[in-house]
Amino acid sequence: MNLMHTAIGLLNKIRKTKAPWVLFVDAIALLIGVINGFFLPKVFSMEGYAVFKAFSLYATYAAVFSLGLSDGLYIVFGGRKENEIDPAQLKAYYIFLVKLQLVLFALLVVIFATVLKDKAFMLFVFFVFPLQLVHFFRLYFRATGGLLHYAKAQGFIVFLELLDTVLIVWVLKSKSADLFIVLKIINHLLLAGVLTYFLRKYTYGIKPAKMNFSQYLKIMKTGIYVLLADALVLLIFSMDRWFVMFAFDTKTFAWYSFAVSIMNIFLMLITSITNILYSYMSQNIDNLHIRKRIRQVVFMCSGLFPLGYFIVKPIIINFLPSYNESLTVLWVLMLGLPLISVLNIFYNNLYKVTGRVKYYLKKMVVILLVSVSLNIVATYIFKSPQAISAAMLATYIIWIIYSAQDRKIKRAPSK
């Protein structure tokens, strides 16, 4: 009963902020995710769907190309209000990010032309630049508690993606994924343009702060540990798809990726809550009682997620029979959702708000080695996608046990 009262109290605190707008937008995004999850594989050819999922797999790591700048600002700005941040410095950081991304874009073009001559990678190259600009603003809004601004930015993308889905699925009925991916890139370009316009309006008449490279490097150094740790988290969560992609045929990769895409519909809710709670945890990080309650509430609520399997199973059987094989791994993947929720919402946020970023990175290196080892055994000894999904579940169990010792970790001493 006390836990239920805590959950209600936490929800009331969230309701007093602009968080309900984020939840509303993410609910719409969830609906679109459901539509895309079931209709895109119905419309695309299996080869086209494989290209789309390969692009999505590449796109998972697009945030890495901030080289720690946006992530460093996320840590530095965490828990501060927007009016506590110097707009001249904010403008300088953004201009530096744009220049940095132009250099990285040129480098990625060279890599595509000489090494990775792959259609999915080519589309990914053009996706990185606009995504990085949008990523900068998303992290800024999340760090400063600007949830209404965050919701508006997300709503912009959600609305455009809804139009894309209608166009691709019901108007053109295109079997190729290329147009859908191109539209996704254009969506992010438009949002980057809109957010840049508002930043210029907000800082109109204010010259960018004069900062030398060492100052940018200091922020990047702070963020690089978080960036690398987050990148390893993404790699761990996507480890199964890399092994399936390289060890099995295109058809197997397509149906396995479909199972992951269904699981990702539920992960969208986890991401939404993670975004909302970061600023709240930053402001209450020394309160061990709040920490405990957040962890318990997250696990209790996400424990319902695996039941979603019984909702999607008859839909897949009757609507997408060519993806029936995905059911052999989907249930195992869904069982991991409560563990993923606690890891993402509580532990990974905890390392950031306490400033234990180097420790966070070290922990993720250990878990990565565990995940790689288990997936190698599943792929080359048991030789089945089902074994790979079981390896992922085992990884989450080991990860949660390994992290349990950190639930009372203290804030890092300021330097």
Give the 3-state secondary structure of residue 192.
helix
Confidence grade of residue 178 (pLDDT, cut at 50, 70, 90): confident
Q: Of 178, 240, 238, whose CA–CA distance to 52 is shortest? A: 178
Q: Determine the distance from the C-alpha atom of residue 135 to the mean position of all C-alpha atoms in its chain, rounded to a whole number.
A: 11
Residues in the chain: 415
pLDDT over threshold 60, residue 162: yes
Confidence grade of residue 7 (pLDDT, cut at 50, 70, 90): very low
**Distance, CA of 113 to CA of 182 (rounded, Å):** 19
Least confident interval from 109-123, 150-164, 170-184, 281-295: 281-295
Confidence grade of residue 407 (pLDDT, cut at 50, 70, 90): confident
pLDDT of residue 377: 94
pLDDT of residue 394: 95
Rg (C-alpha) for the chain, rounded Å, is 21
pLDDT digits (tens, 9 = 90+) for 82-115: 777 788 888 888 888 899 899 999 998 888 888 7
pLDDT of residue 127: 92
pLDDT digits (tens, 9 = 90+) for 351-372: 877 778 788 889 999 999 999 9
**Distance, CA of 396 to CA of 32 (rounded, Å):** 28
For 305-338, b/e burial (b = at least 16 CB within 10 A) is bbebbeebeeebeeebeebebbbebbebbbbbbb
pLDDT over threshold 80, residue 81: no
pLDDT of residue 19: 53
Find out whether 50 and 118 touch, Cβ atoms under 8 Å: no
For Cα atoms 249, 64, 227, give the angle at the middle one, nearest 5 degrees.
Answer: 120
Q: Which residue reads 């957010």 in tokens?
A: 195
Q: Determine the distance from the C-alpha atom of residue 128 to the mean position of all C-alpha atoms in its chain, rounded to a whole number.
A: 14
**Distance, CA of 108 to CA of 102 (rounded, Å):** 10
Neighbours of 212 (CB within 10 A): 7
197 burial via Cβ count (<10 Å: 0-12, 13-18, 19+): exposed
Neighbours of 292 (CB within 10 A): 14
Confidence grade of residue 392 (pLDDT, cut at 50, 70, 90): very high
| The token pair that represents 405 in the structure block | 């010792």
pLDDT digits (tens, 9 = 90+) for 23-48: 666 667 667 766 776 777 778 877 78
Find out whether 244 and 318 touch, Cβ atoms under 8 Å: no
pLDDT of residue 59: 84
More confident residue, 12 or 141: 141
| The token pair that represents 85 in the structure block | 């941040």
**Distance, CA of 331 to CA of 327 (rounded, Å):** 7
More confident residue, 411 or 327: 327
pLDDT of residue 401: 92
Find out whether 24 and 146 touch, Cβ atoms under 8 Å: no
| The token pair that represents 40 in the structure block | 């895109």
**Distance, CA of 96 to CA of 215 (rounded, Å):** 11
More confident residue, 413 or 45: 45
**Distance, CA of 256 to CA of 325 (rounded, Å):** 8
pLDDT of residue 397: 94
More confident residue, 402 or 1: 402
Query: In the Cβ-directed half-sphere of 96, how many Cα atoms lie within 13 Å?
Result: 24
| The token pair that represents 340 in the structure block | 């993923």
More confident residue, 334 or 150: 334
Percent of the chain with pLDDT over 70: 85
Query: In the Cβ-directed half-sphere of 251, how many Cα atoms lie within 13 Å?
Result: 4
**Distance, CA of 175 to CA of 41 (rounded, Å):** 9
Least confident interval from 195-199, 252-256, 264-268, 380-384: 264-268
Find out whether 130 and 191 touch, Cβ atoms under 8 Å: yes
Residue type, 26: D
Confidence grade of residue 378 (pLDDT, cut at 50, 70, 90): very high
Instruction: Enumerate the domain spans of the chain.
Output: 2-405
**Distance, CA of 189 to CA of 166 (rounded, Å):** 20
pLDDT over threshold 60, residue 18: no
Least confident interval from 17-31, 135-149, 258-272, 320-334: 17-31
| The token pair that represents 54 in the structure block | 């390969």
pLDDT over threshold 70, residue 415: no
Q: Cβ contacts of residue 277 below 8 Å, gap of 6+? A: 294, 345, 349
pLDDT over threshold 80, residue 197: yes
Average pLDDT over residues 54-81: 77
Average pLDDT over residues 134-147: 78
pLDDT over threshold 70, residue 224: yes
Find out whether 326 and 259 touch, Cβ atoms under 8 Å: yes
Find out whether 209 and 86 touch, Cβ atoms under 8 Å: yes
**Distance, CA of 352 to CA of 363 (rounded, Å):** 13
86 burial via Cβ count (<10 Å: 0-12, 13-18, 19+): exposed
Confidence grade of residue 379 (pLDDT, cut at 50, 70, 90): very high
pLDDT over threshold 80, residue 327: yes
pLDDT of residue 16: 52
Q: Which residue reads 């839909």 in tokens?
A: 315
